[in-house]
Amino acid sequence: MAEPQPPMNTLPLRGRLLANEPMSAHTSWRVGGPADRYFEPADRADLLDFVRSLDADEPVLWLGLGSNLLVRDGGFRGCVIALHGALDDLKLDAPEPFSNAPRVIAEAGVHCARLAKFVERQQLAGLGFMAGIPGTVGGALAMNAGAWGGETWRAVYEAEVVLRDGSTHWLTPSAFEIGYRSVVAPAQFLGFLGARFVVTPDDGSHAQATRASLAQRKATQPVGRPSAGSTFRNPPGDHAARLIEAAGLKGFRIGGAEVSRLHANFIVTDAGAKAADVEALITHIRNTVNQQTRIDLHPEVKIVGEVAHA
């Protein structure tokens, strides 16, 4: 007997709602089992209509580009909501009365590199580090992503969120617990819809620094192979890449997953790789570094879903 399919939404949705969608098609590692339900909204209104129709206890995974995510091979028992391509508005914010401080509004589906380029074209600065983040604004907000010494939440004026009941709210950073690559949201939080970012005028020097950093990134990171960016957070006073390389793990492989020979804090995958290969390699790296240094590396990537059964 065929297994029962998850209930499909009965609203007149304008986006794409799929059952048993393989997450390997939507993550930058190109691995991952199927999500019970997968929804790509047509726009903001379509998204909010869908959120209001969700069962209160249905697990939900908010997805950008899947660049900081490992979905296990058994898949995700719940609904994945993919924002990239729907929430993609990006514009200068109208200034508040009696204030000349410029701000930029970016929705959650906007690619971070696009945001950085937009700000540069407006001859503004403060978000150049976003050019080094391989994900969307929503993902950057969710993990306080950073690059080249910059961090997302240092530049946030306020963020727009949606709660489980479908209501939306603009919240200041004080409503969140924000740490290094860590953000704890208020109760009933479902996901980020976007943010207002503080920027400053640029004389051109910040844009030059961004281009130099991008060139260095291209030269020192495996940008042409499937990866999820940095795999581990940097421990206090040190760098995860240095620790992994010192442990002799550059090029170490489990199945179709390998520690990059170019940058030790990147795990890259080959065609045919499994999420289990990546997770096993993460565990091996942590154990090896801990045995040699007594330092516990903490993954930056979010690991979700079910282990596949043989």
DSSP H helices, 54-89, are none
Q: Between the CA of residue 222 and those of 27, 47, 174, 205, 233, what are the distances in Å?
A: 16, 34, 36, 27, 18
- Give all domains of the chain, ordered by start, each with its CATH number: 16-82 (3.30.43.10), 90-207 (3.30.465.10), 222-304 (3.90.78.10)
pLDDT in tens, 202-247: 877 777 777 777 777 776 777 778 999 899 999 999 999 999 999 9
Cα–Cα distances in angstroms (integers) from residue 118 to residues 126, 152, 265, in the given order: 12, 16, 29
- Cβ neighbours of residue 219 closer than 8 Å, sequence gap 6 or more: none
Structure-token pair, residue 197: 């970012």
Rounded to an integer, what is the distance from CA 238 to the centroid of its chain? 23
Catalytic residues: 181, 230, 300
Token pair of 179 as six digits: 């740490």
pTM: 0.89
Stretch 81-96: mean pLDDT, rounded? 89
160 CB-near residues (< 8 Å, 6+ apart): 168, 169, 170, 171, 192, 193, 194, 195
Phi, psi of 45 (to 5 degrees): -60, -40
Residue closest to 37 by CA, chosen among 69, 63, 60, 11: 60
CB 3 within 8 A of CB 60: no
Residue 147 binned pLDDT confidence (cut-offs 50, 70, 90):
confident
> Which amino acid is located at 149 in the chain?
G
Paired strand residues for 195 = 106, 159
User: What are the tens digits of pLDDT across the range 164-216?
Assistant: 999 999 999 999 999 999 999 999 999 999 999 999 988 777 777 777 777 77
Taking all residues of the chain, what is their mean pLDDT, rounded to a whole number? Answer: 91
